[in-house]
Amino acid sequence: MNITIESTKDLLRSRKLKATPTRLEILSALQKRNSAVTFSEIQNICNDTDRVTLYRTIQSFVDKGLIHKAYQSEDEVHYALCSHNCSSEAHFHNHLHFKCTRCKKVTCEYLEEEVKIILPKFQIEKVDITISGICKNCN
Amino acid sequence: MNITIESTKDLLRSRKLKATPTRLEILSALQKRNSAVTFSEIQNICNDTDRVTLYRTIQSFVDKGLIHKAYQSEDEVHYALCSHNCSSEAHFHNHLHFKCTRCKKVTCEYLEEEVKIILPKFQIEKVDITISGICKNCN
DNA sequence: CACTTAAATGCAACGAAGTTGCATTTAAGT
DNA sequence: ACTTAAATGCAACTTCGTTGCATTTAAGTG
């Protein structure tokens, strides 16, 4: 499926978000790349948009299940596009976030074999896995 | 092995840190509990110590391998005592951080069966696993 | 196409979190 | 007791994120 401006507008509208220039800019930038973005990268993309608007835009995207937070130990929060089956309620699946120490990109990766975590007598609700190392492209 | 004030002082000195009252207070508080602490909890423990000193104390503890950051998605950074084999270089082992949604405590947990994460063509250097749910005590 | 309205934006101000420089104090070795 | 490098406290500052409010705009309606 090709990504057009119209399809991006429709995506926003389907989540009850107005298709404003700033939102289209951020969302299509995210669609074009395969890695997560930080707030400062979003600021660079939208040079003359007020930072308050950007904070609110990110928040609305998270609320509506368009993006999710992909945390990384030492630095900024990274935001990644949600996949299609991502809803507002369930952001985290059996995927993980990989931070490459060489190219610094944060990507969502999916495991062929599901991770088995056994904690007797605990109830597990959410699992976040963050890995750092050298990514496929840099290796 | 019993934990005495003297043994805590020695621990500090063995890492080339002066055994000051504030440091002893924080470190022995950490030794007494089985869960990680946040900065604001440290502030409560050391009421009349300047927050700048607390920031610097935490930093020195992290630098010297006494504590490590145990991140949690939504809230503050939590700090946990390092185990004995923890050095300044290698903070993260095959353990994970568990945040209980009921009692709010963050604890380090160890897996009997090691987690197997297979990412073909990637080089894995560090793995951080954070889990939320209901802990053993609350369950 | 003009009109309406709720949503989105920009601006100013604020608050919280963490940092830096510098003067003073203190732990610990001599 | 003396010395000195390390640790602390204070003041000031930066950065990050938030809130209130006035203005603008997307998108539905006649």
Task: Break chain B into its structural domains and give their ranges.
Answer: 5-133
CA distance B6 to chain A (A): 34
Q: Is the dihedral of CA B63, B65, B71, B77 positive or negative?
A: negative
Whether the predicted pLDDT of B111 surpasses 90: no
- Amino acid in the structure at residue B50: D
C1' (D2) to CA (B17) span, angstroms: 22
Angle between helices B21-32 and B51-63 (to 10 degrees): 60
The tokens for A38 are 């930080």
How high is the mean pLDDT of chain A? 84
Q: Which residues in chain B belong to E strands, given as ranges?
A: 37-38, 67-70, 78-81, 95-100, 106-110, 123-134
H or E stretch covering A135: none
CA distance A91 to A84: 11
Residue of B nearest to A123 (CA): B134
A62-76, A90-104, B51-65, B114-128: least confidently modelled range: A90-104
Instruction: Find out whether B90 and B33 touch, Cβ atoms under 8 Å.
Output: no
Angle subtended by helix axes B5-14 and B21-32, to nearest 10? 110
Q: What is the DSSP letter of A13?
A: H
B77 touches strand C (CB under 7 A): yes
CB atoms within 10 A of CB A33: 13
CATH of A5-133, one of 3.40.50.300, 1.10.10.10, 3.40.50.12780, 2.40.50.140: 1.10.10.10
Separation between Cα atoms, residue B57 and residue B102, nearest integer Å = 30
The pTM (predicted TM-score) of the whole model is 0.78
- Tokens of residue B61, six digits: 């503890």
Could you give the CA distance from residue B1 to residue A13 in angstroms, rounded to a whole number? 63
Per-residue pLDDT reduced to its tens digit, B18-50: 999 999 999 999 999 888 899 999 999 999 999
A49 CB less than 7 Å from any atom of strand C: yes
Please give, rounded to a whole number of angstroms, the shortest distance from the CA of B94 to a CA of chain A.
12
Over the Cα atoms of chain A, what is R_g? Answer: 16
Give the three-state DSSP class for B22: helix
Report the distance separating Cα B36 and Cα B80, nearest Å.
4
Q: Identify which has the larger pLDDT, B57 or B128.
A: B57
Judge whether residue B51 contacts strand C, using its CB and a 7 Å cut-off: yes
Residue of A71, A115, A132 with shortest CB distance to B125? A132
Highest mean pLDDT of the ranges A91-100, A111-120, B54-63: B54-63
User: Ranked by mean pLDDT, which of A106-120, A122-136, B53-67 comes out on top?
Assistant: B53-67
Report pLDDT for A94. 65
- Closest CB from B69, B71, B122 relative to A135: B122
